[in-house]
Amino acid sequence: MSEFCLKGENVHLWRGDHHVLRGVRFQVGAGECLQLTGANGTGKTTLLRTACGLAYPEGGEITWRGQNIREDMRAFHAQLAYLGHEPPLKSELTARENLHYWIGVRRRLEGRELDQALERVGGNQWADRPVRTLSAGQKRRAALAGLTLMRVPLWLLDEPTTNLDAEGQKLVGTLIDEHVQAGGVALAAVHHELAVSRPNGLRRMELTFD
Amino acid sequence: MRHFLDMGGYWPFVWPAYAVTFAVMALNIIWARRLLKRSRKEALRRLTIGGTEK
Amino acid sequence: MTDSGTMMPPVRPAFDSASDATHPAVTALAAARLVLARDLKLAFRKRSQLVQPLAFFAIVTTLFPLGVSPELSRLRPMAAGVLWAAALLASLLALEMLFRDDAQDGTLEQYALSGGSLTWLLAAKTAAHWLLTGLPLALMAPLAGIALGAPNGAVPGIVVSVAVGTVALSLIGSIGAALTLGIRRSGALLSLLTLPLDIPVLIFGARATELAIGGEAYGVPLQLLAAVAVLGLTLAPLAAAAAVRINLE
Amino acid sequence: MAWTWFHRLASPPHVYRLSARLTPWLAWPAALLIVAGLIGGLWLAPPDYQQGDGYRIIYVHAPSAWMSLFVYTTMAVAAGIGLIWRMKVAHAVAAASAPVGASFTFAALVTGSLWGKPMWGTYWQWDPRLTSELILLFLYLGYMGLRSAFDDVQRADRASAVLAVVGLVNVPIIHYSVVWWNSLHQAPSLMYLGKPTMPPSMYVPLLIMLVGFTLFYGAVLLVRLRGEVLSRERAASWIREAVRA
């Protein structure tokens, strides 16, 4: 199989009468992180959802490792992690239970992996509390733990630093750093510049209304 | 003619049945034309507003 | 020499960059079992939602004696119909919540992007829905039946027919719930979509119950009911998965 | 590719122009056949030996009932094609069909009950045909209700298509279960005619009406289709000419 590379060619998408994505082109390869910036409503989320195959572009195509993602959607999905606006957590379950069910659907968790991931995001204190009692930042951290647990080469992140304190924002930067260093690919929609310590491999793209 | 309209005494059933059916057909014609007219107007409006692509 | 090297925790490879299989994959069945376990656990953490359809069922069956007559001889002929209409509405009531929460918090998205079969995961969710509403309804139905004049001997027949019928109801309902999950205040629309499709279940189920109450053999309608359930089992999760994908677009 | 001719045929501008051109070719024969059927059914056909002139309702009831099923099938098949191949024109056909089918289902119900009154002494009997017709009307209403619940045409198309296909799988099951249910309770059923065999003077007008109604559906469908195709196109250059024309 060819190298990790997510590529969008002339992607068009409408929402009703609104032409949201107007021939968007992008390319992120192994060891790269592409930051999507742009005002609200310029289609950052839509682009991410299109890139992961949830939304269907009416023009153009998206390829992963040189193959249109629609050709083998499941194999493509097995290689990507998508984090949306909301952390996909159930408020009645604890953070640990949430991760167990969320990640368990994708892959078998081994040994102390879950503990380590929670530790990594500073979750020792609250891992066993119901998510309902956690702050928005803690929920976001739990979601980041899930992200690292998926162990997939492609990350698609929608505003990963929302609700995070300075330290948490740094954590996002470090996680992306490590991911990219290991040869992974990241595509992130952001409002604020990511706190990435090794800026080589970091690229920016701005979406505008025209 | 009287005989025909009487429908052997069944006129209160036969004629309303035909009336309803033809009313439905007439309505279908009217609705279809109205839909087409509205869609044309709407398409024109879109062309003038979002006239970025010609 | 480099201080960073010693500070790093033992890093396991984030992914295997050479192969396509990036991790030990989970079989569809194992994933489905996990979803089922999760939904059951969630339901037991908020019990009020569990009880509501059952209470609804009890209230509706209580209305009929009050509205018609307290005489069991007059209630008995309509007991099967009342039971089934009430069961249909109770199962419908619970349907609205089937995918709602998971759609709102992004869990459905994660399922759709899991790389596994969305159909299986939704089948598991529907199975959980049946275990939480259909099965309790089947266990409660004989009580209501007896209250409406059914003899004690009818109990197994009522339980079996309601249990099999609610499997079909949950499956058909999962399609409606998936189709309307993006729509606000979808209750009335959901009924309009689902109830006409439920009619065969109502007919065969009510007939089986009626025969059971009358002390007759109810094998034929029960088999027809089971056939509908099996057909639903094979097709409904596929349709629901398609509908969920459409609503995530 | 072997599919290119198909795609060209199904391209919106082509469909729009073709529908405009074909409409009169369906509408006039439809009108002619329906008038001929009316003359044949109301004047030329002899009265039935049991139902007298009351049976003449068949010339509007049966074609309406036929339409209700035929349009539903067309709609569901088109919706399925649209779903599988992401073909906008197929979705447009489905969207254009629903109100036509629903209205004829309504006509079939009303004419059926008007026919039932002199036979049963009541306007409504739970006979299998009328009951199935009623359920079919609910299926149509559900389809149109779901469609109108979405703001986005694309999503409405695709979601309602799933429902139409599921409905199509269910229609035979519903019909069978209703017939089965009816046979248990021995309710009277709508007897179409007293005699087992119809003379040609009776059934020829019926056939003419069936064809006439079907052509009428075709003509209405083509007009609606143009509207539906237009509302699915965005700022394409062909629209300007098409709308002016």
Mean confidence (pLDDT) of chain C = 89
Q: Is the pLDDT of residue C20 over 50?
A: no
Structure-model confidence comparison of residues D63 and B47, the more confident one: D63
Closest alpha carbon within chain D to B12: D114
Domains of chain A, by residue range, sit at 1-79+153-210, 93-151
Task: Determine whether the interchain pair A88/C109 forms a contact, defined as Cβ–Cβ distance below 8 Å.
Answer: yes
Q: Does residue C14 belong to any structural domain of this protein?
A: no
Lowest-confidence segment of A142-146, C48-52, C120-124, C177-181 by average pLDDT? C48-52
**Cα dihedral sign for A66, A71, A75, A81?**
positive
| Distance in Å, alpha carbon of A56 to nearest chain B alpha carbon | 21
C contact test, residue of D177, D180, D182 with most C CBs within 10 A: D177
pLDDT at residue A210 in the model: 60
**Cα dihedral sign for A121, A124, A126, A131?**
positive
Q: Does residue C224 belong to any structural domain of this protein?
A: yes
Q: Does residue D9 belong to any structural domain of this protein?
A: no
Residue B24 makes CB contacts below 8 A (sequence gap 6+) with D64, D103, D104, D106, D107
pLDDT at residue D129 in the model: 86
Q: Is the pLDDT of residue B16 over 70?
A: yes
CA distance A206 to C233: 47
B and D adjacent (3 or more CB pairs under 8 angstroms): yes
Q: Is the pLDDT of residue B48 over 80?
A: no
Q: Does residue C8 belong to any structural domain of this protein?
A: no
Residue A42 makes CB contacts below 8 A (sequence gap 6+) with A207, A208, A209
Tokens linked to D189: 């059923």
pLDDT at residue C16 in the model: 56
DSSP D121: S
Domain housing C66: 28-248
Cβ neighbours of A209 in B, within 8 Å? none
Tokens linked to A161: 């630093």
Q: Does residue C17 belong to any structural domain of this protein?
A: no
Complex ipTM: 0.91
Percent over 90 (pLDDT), chain B: 50
H-only helix segments in C46-180? 48-67, 72-95, 97-104, 107-112, 118-129, 135-147, 155-179
pLDDT at residue D227 in the model: 95
Task: Tell whether C249 lies on the interface with D, counting CB pairs under 8 A.
Answer: yes
Task: Tell whether D97 lies on the interface with B, counting CB pairs under 8 A.
Answer: no
pLDDT at residue D33 in the model: 97
Q: Is the pLDDT of residue C14 over 60?
A: no
pLDDT at residue D48 in the model: 81
Q: Does residue C43 belong to any structural domain of this protein?
A: yes
Mean confidence (pLDDT) of chain A = 89
- How many CB atoms sit inside 10 A of residue A7's CB? 17
Beta strands (DSSP E) in chain A are 5-15, 18-29, 32-37, 59-64, 67-68, 80-83, 154-158, 185-189, 202-206
Q: Is the pLDDT of residue A106 over 50?
A: yes
Q: Is the pLDDT of residue C122 over 90?
A: yes
Q: Is the pLDDT of residue C3 over 50?
A: no
CA distance D129 to D108: 10
Please give the CATH superfamily to which domain A1-79+153-210 belongs: P-loop containing nucleotide triphosphate hydrolases (3.40.50.300)
Count of domains for chain C: 1
Task: Tell whether A14 lies on the interface with D, counting CB pairs under 8 A.
Answer: yes
Q: Name the residue with tokens 């099999």.
A: C164
Burial per residue of A76-96, b for 16 or more beta-carbon CB atoms within 10 angstroms, e otherwise: bbbbbbbbbebbbbbbbbbbb
Interface of D with B in 133-162 (CB under 8 A): none
pLDDT at residue C4 in the model: 39
- Please list the rounded mean pLDDT of every run of 10 residues in chain D (245 residues): 68 91 96 96 86 88 95 97 93 97 97 89 86 96 96 93 96 92 69 61 91 97 96 78 72
Structure-model confidence comparison of residues B3 and C235, the more confident one: C235
Domain housing D185: 26-38+53-191+199-229
